[in-house]
Amino acid sequence: MATAEMELDVLAVDELLHKYRRVRASIERIGPVEAREYLQCNTKNRKLNDHHVRRMRDLIVAGDWWMNGETIIFGADGTLLDGQHRLTAILQAGLFVDVLVIRGIDEAAFRTLDGGRTRTTGEVLGIDGEKNANNIAAAVQALVSFVDSGGSVQGTTYSGRKATPMLTARVLAEYPQIRDSVNAMKRNSLFRNQHSYMLHMLFSMVSQSAAEEFASVLSDGHADMGRPFVVFRESLVRTPLRSDLRRAYAAKAIKAFNAEIEGERPKMFKFIVGEEFPTIVGLDYEKLAESIG
């Protein structure tokens, strides 16, 4: 390297060292006591998002917390600039976690925090090379919500546990057939959403052949117009999918599956407001809940 270039490099390093002389980075093991102390320095953060806190608390309790480079940031005067949700989650979990902590940041930089967008679970799966990544992520989220709701599909206001990339990976390891269910249900245009993917997988846990027939009839129809799957299909033809009726569609799909399994031939399937959500005949709900955690 030429002498002039070496001198420029030295000057650049000196400039950086001077400019950020107060900045320090360290990995700290933070528990409830430390979290409570640090939160006392929280004077400039936004209002807590309780759902976000619960999600991170659940990660910590489940052992899914990783020191992934995300930081807790303090200003030069000790003010907490970023990390109130993580610290609150640690406090609520009552456990120790390892966190990268940055101290000495200029408070003028505060307005630039959280300017980026967090990757979705589907995006993470796609980066990992997963085909149908967004559909698979949606199916896993539907399954987690189904389990957390006690075996029910909720309406549009559901705000329960989020299927994070870590949780999604665990669910896929336990139920790799979700991928097959997504592929099977993508062939039809009448009932193609996260709940149809999930239900196909749950049906396959009871009867693989019935699940395959469910997907086939929805996609291609069937000559036997009195068959439960056909009755359900015809109801979808008359009333195309609406997001506000997703709970009703899922309930009717389960009723159709149960009728197929039990050899019944009802003329129609109804699900009215206030009705108890149907259970899938033959599905071990307790085992399913234990496997999802």
Residue 270 is predicted with a pLDDT of 93
- Domain limits for position 91: 21-112
Contact criterion met (CB below 8 Å) for 197 and 132: no
Q: Name residue, tokens 């399937």.
A: 269
Q: Same domain for 181 and 236?
A: yes
Per-residue pLDDT tens for 95-149? 999 999 999 988 666 555 554 456 688 988 887 789 999 999 999 999 999 999 9
Residue 63 is predicted with a pLDDT of 86
Q: Same domain for 267 and 155?
A: yes
Residue 11 is predicted with a pLDDT of 60
Weakly modelled stretches of the chain, pLDDT under 70 = 1-13, 18, 44-46, 107-119, 156-159
Mean pLDDT of the chain: 88
Q: Same domain for 102 and 182?
A: no
Residue 3 domain flag: no
In 100-225, alpha helices (H): 121-127, 133-148, 165-174, 178-185, 194-206, 208-220
pTM score: 0.69
Q: Same domain for 55 and 95?
A: yes
Neighbour tally for 172: CB within 10 Å: 18
217 phi and psi angles, rounded to 5 deg: -65, -40
Count of structural domains within the chain: 2
Q: Which tokens is 257 given?
A: 């599956």
Task: Give the span between the Cα atoms of 93 and 100, in whole angstroms.
Answer: 18
Residue 45 is predicted with a pLDDT of 64
**For 83, left (φ over 0), alpha (ψ -120 to 50), or beta?**
left
Nearest 10 degrees: CA dihedral of 289, 141, 163, 275?
Answer: -60
Per-residue pLDDT tens for 191-222? 999 999 999 999 999 999 999 999 999 999 99
Q: Same domain for 146 and 87?
A: no
Residue 264 is predicted with a pLDDT of 96
Residue 157 is predicted with a pLDDT of 64
Q: Same domain for 69 and 185?
A: no
Q: Same domain for 85 and 126?
A: no
Q: Same domain for 149 and 271?
A: yes
